[in-house]
Structure 1
Amino acid sequence: NPNAFVFNASNYKLEGLVILTIIFYIINYFIGSAENKTIIKKLEEPIKSVLKRHFYSANDERRIFEIDSPSDVLIYASGRRNCVSLQGHVQLKVRQDLISLANDFLADNNEQISFEIVLDQDKADGFVFAVTPKNKSKFLLQDRHDISSFTTVLNSDKVDSKTVVFSETSEATNLLLSTELPYYLNKKTGLLSELYISDQPDKKPDELNFTSSKKLTAVLRIPKLNETGISQLVENIEFVFHLIDVVCESIKLKPDTLKKLEKNRVSAYKDLKRKEEIKKQEEALKAAALKKKIERESIERLPADQRRKAEEKLKAKAEKKKNQKRIVMK
C-alpha cells in the first residue's frame, strides 16, 4: 500500500534530540538532588552540635534546619549571651539544574555557609569592619553603603595579599586582627572567606528616620566532608561564635573614638537631613495653604456684614505677620 505509514528515525532527529534532552534533565535533577541531600545530611549533625552548645533554641531540633530547596538550607537560632538571634544559610551548587550548575562553575562560586548574627545592641560598640577576598572588594565598594561610606582599605601584613581589610577605626581593627582571625582567614588553615561587622545598613536609606542593627556576618567555605573536613568546619564555626563575645566584651572604644564615629555618621547622612528639612518645609507650606483655604471658604459662607469684618480681621492679621517678618530681617 503506497499510503501506508513507514517509520523512519532520520525524519525525527530533532524531536528525538528534544526528548533525550528532557530525559537527561530529569535524570540529572534526581541525581543532583540526591547528591545535595547527602551533603546536607553530612552537614546537619556537626552544625547542630555547635548550635546546641551556644544557642538555647537549638535544643528544639525542629526549628534549626529548614530545607528551602535541594541546594538551600536555612538555619535559625536564638538564646545566647551577647546576641539577639542568628540566621544561617547553607548554599550548595545547584546540581539538580545543569544551567545553574554551569553558571556556578563559570563564576567559580564556592559552596558556603553564611551566618548573620544580630548582636546585643547595648553591649556592642558601633563601628564598621570587613575582611573579604580581593577580587570581591571592588564590588563591595559599589554595592555596600556601610563599607564605602565609613571604611578605608587597611594594608596589614597579618593577612595575605589576596585578602582586603576594610577598617573604620584602628582600635577595633587591631584587636580583631590580634585574635586568631588571620589564621581562620588563611585558605591553608581556615575556612573563613568573608567577615562583616557593622552598625550601619548595607544599602543607603532613603529617609533619615531609619533603624539599623549591629550585626556580625561571616561566610565559610564548605570543605570536603570527610572526618578532617567536618572537624575543621566545626572549629571554624566555633571561632565565628567566639567573635560575638570579642565584639561585645573586648572591643570597648574610647570616648573620643565614639564621638568621631558619631560625627562620621552625621556627615554621611547630611543629604538625608537636608531632604527631611525640605520635606518638613513643604508639609508646613501645604498645611498653611490648606488652613488659609478653609478660612477663606468659611468667610465666603458668612452674611455680608460678618464677611466684611472677617476679611478686615484676616487682612490685619496678614499685615501684622508681614511687619514682624520685616523686623526680623532688619
Structure 2
Amino acid sequence: MSKLLSSLAMFALASYASAEEKTPVEAPVNPILTRPLTIHDFHMEIVLSITFLALAFVWFQGKTTNLKKAKIWVNDQIEFLESQFALVGDKLSNEKSVLMVDGPADFLLYTSGRRNVQFGHWWLKMKPRNDILTFFTTQVLALVGYAKPATDRVNLTMALDKAIPEKFVFAVIKKDLANELHQKRFDLKRVGKVASSKVLPANLTIYAETQKLADTILAGKVGEILAQTSDRLESLIISSLPEEEPEMFEADNFLTVSLNFLMSSAPGFDSLVELACELPDVIGQLRLTGDIKSKINKNRDELVKEFSKKAAADRAEELQKKKAEAKRAEEERVKKMSPAEQRKWEEKERARNMKKQQKKKKM
C-alpha cells in the first residue's frame, strides 16, 4: 500500500513539474524610444525639390528669353521681308501670327509669294538657354571641335522657281566647316571644285563647277554682302542637285538656296537677309556662257552614266538572284519525284543543254 501511495505521489510531482515547464513566460516589453521629426530628416527631399524648382525656373526663363530674342530679330527684318514677299508668317486667322514655335529654342518663319521663289523656311535656332546641361555640353564639345558653338543662328532654305533655266552647284562656306560639308553633301562632293575670288576674304572657301561660274555669281552686290558679313556667314549653298546621294539620277531639280548665318549682336536690319532676297533675282537673270554650260553638261552626263551603270548592275544582280531561286525551287521539285520521273527530267535537261551548245556553235 505504501508503495502505491509513493508511486502516486511521484506521478503527481512529475505532472506538476511538466505543467510548470509548459506555462509560457512573458518577456518584459521595452518601450520604443521616439523623437520628434526635424528639418534635418528631410535634407535629401529639400535638396531635390530646390534643384527641380531651379531647373524649372531656368527652363522657363530660357524659353522666354529665346522667344523674346527671336521676336526682336524678326521685328527688325519684318518690314523688308513684307516688301519682298506677299506672305510672311502664318495668316490662318484674321490676326497675323508671324513666328511658329517648334520648341523652346526653335522658331520658324515662312515666306512665299515672290518672283523667282516658291517658298522660304527661315529657321531661327537659338541657344539652348532653357537646357543648362545641353548648353554646357555643347560648349565643351565645341572647344575640341566636335560640335558647333551654341549661338543664335538663322538657317534659311529657299526653293527657287522651277522655271529658272540655269542649273548648277555653287557654295561659299566658312573655312573651318568647308571640308566637313564638302564630304557630307552629295552635290558638293561630286561636282564642287575649289575656286578662288579676290572679292572674298581668306576665311571663306568657294566651291563651284567652274571658276567662271564663281566669278559670275560673286560679281556685284552678292560678293559685296558676303565680304562684309564674312565673320557671321557659315555657309551659302546654291544647288540643283540633291544634298544626299539619290538611288537614281536622271536630271537636275529646281535650284535651292541654303543660307546659314549667325544672328548679329547689334540690333537692326541684317544685310544677310537682303542677300537672301537678292539672290533669286540675280540667279533668275543669270545667263551662263557656252563654256560654263559645257562643263556643267559634262558633269551631268558623267552622273547619268554612273547611275545608269549602277542601275544595270542592280538589275543584273536581281536577275541572278531570281535565277538562283528558280534553280533551287526546281531542284527541290526534282527531289520529290519518283526515280522514273527523275530519269525523264534528266533526259530533257541533257537534250536542252545540247540544243544550247548547238546554237552557240552556229553563232
Q: Could you state the TM-score of these two structures normalised by the residue count of structure 2?
A: 0.72
Q: CA deviation at 1:59?
A: 7.8
Q: What residue in structure 1 maps to residue 53 of structure 2?
A: 23
Alignment equivalent of 2:114, drawn from 62, 73, 80: 80
For 1:327 and 1:179, how far apart are their aligned partners in 2?
A: 70
For 2:297 and 2:229, how far apart are their aligned partners in 1?
A: 38
CA deviation string 1:56-83 (max 9, x = no partner): 3338634753111121112223222212
CA deviation string 1:251-272 (max 9, x = no partner): x223443232232234346553
CA deviation string 1:12-40 (max 9, x = no partner): 55544333222211110111111112112
The 3 A distance-change label for structure 1 pair 6 and 149 is: same
Q: Secondary structure at the match of 1:206?
A: coil
Where do 1:226-305 residues align within 5 Å? Answer: 229-231=267-269, 233=270, 235-250=271-286, 252-268=287-303, 271-284=306-319
For 1:141 and 1:59, how far apart are their aligned partners in 2?
A: 33
CA deviation string 1:122-153 (max 9, x = no partner): 31412111111111112112211211221222
Q: CA deviation at 1:181?
A: 2.8
Q: What residue in structure 2 maps to residue 181 of structure 1?
A: 222
Q: Indicate conservation of the 8 Å contact 2:122/2:157, yes or no.
A: yes
CA deviation string 1:232-282 (max 9, x = no partner): x1x4312211111111212x2234432322322343465533221022224
Aligned residue identity for 1:44 = V
Alignment of 1:112 with 2:153, yes or no, is yes
Q: Name which of structure 1's ranges 171-180 and 22-31 shifts more when overlaid on structure 2.
A: 171-180
Aligned residue identity for 1:236 = L
Q: Secondary structure at the match of 2:173?
A: strand
Q: CA deviation at 1:215?
A: 0.9
Alignment of 1:224 with 2:258, yes or no, is no
The 3 A distance-change label for structure 1 pair 273 and 188 is: closer
For 2:154 and 2:254, how far apart are their aligned partners in 1?
A: 21
Q: Indicate conservation of the 8 Å contact 2:232/2:263, yes or no.
A: yes
Provide structure 1 residue ranges, at least 5 long, that are not aligned to the other structure. 298-307
Where do 1:87-98 residues align within 5 Å? Answer: 87-98=121-132
Q: CA deviation at 1:293?
A: 11
For 2:117 and 2:245, how far apart are their aligned partners in 1?
A: 24
Identity of aligned residues (%): 23
Alignment of 1:41 with 2:76, yes or no, is no
For 1:323 and 1:293, how far apart are their aligned partners in 2?
A: 26
Q: CA deviation at 1:314?
A: 10
Alignment equivalent of 2:202, drawn from 153, 161, 174: 161
Q: Secondary structure at the match of 1:260?
A: helix
Q: Indicate conservation of the 8 Å contact 2:196/2:211, yes or no.
A: no
Q: Indicate conservation of the 8 Å contact 1:134/1:164, yes or no.
A: yes
Alignment equivalent of 1:51, drawn from 81, 85, 96: 81
Q: What residue in structure 1 maps to residue 211 of structure 2?
A: 170
Q: What residue in structure 2 maps to residue 138 of structure 1?
A: 179
Q: What residue in structure 1 maps to residue 238 of structure 2?
A: 197
Q: Secondary structure at the match of 2:100?
A: strand
For 1:258 and 1:29, how far apart are their aligned partners in 2?
A: 53
Q: Indicate conservation of the 8 Å contact 1:33/1:96, yes or no.
A: yes
Provide structure 2 residue ranges, at least 5 long, that are not aligned to the other structure. 1-31, 143-148, 334-343
Which of these two proteins has the greater Rg computed from alpha carbons?
2
Q: Indicate conservation of the 8 Å contact 1:197/1:217, yes or no.
A: yes
Q: Secondary structure at the match of 2:200?
A: coil
Q: Name which of structure 1's ranges 165-174 and 269-278 shifts more when overlaid on structure 2.
A: 269-278
For 2:316 and 2:224, how far apart are their aligned partners in 1?
A: 54
Q: Indicate conservation of the 8 Å contact 2:240/2:253, yes or no.
A: yes
Q: Indicate conservation of the 8 Å contact 2:193/2:210, yes or no.
A: no
Q: Could you state the TM-score of these two structures normalised by the residue count of structure 1?
A: 0.78
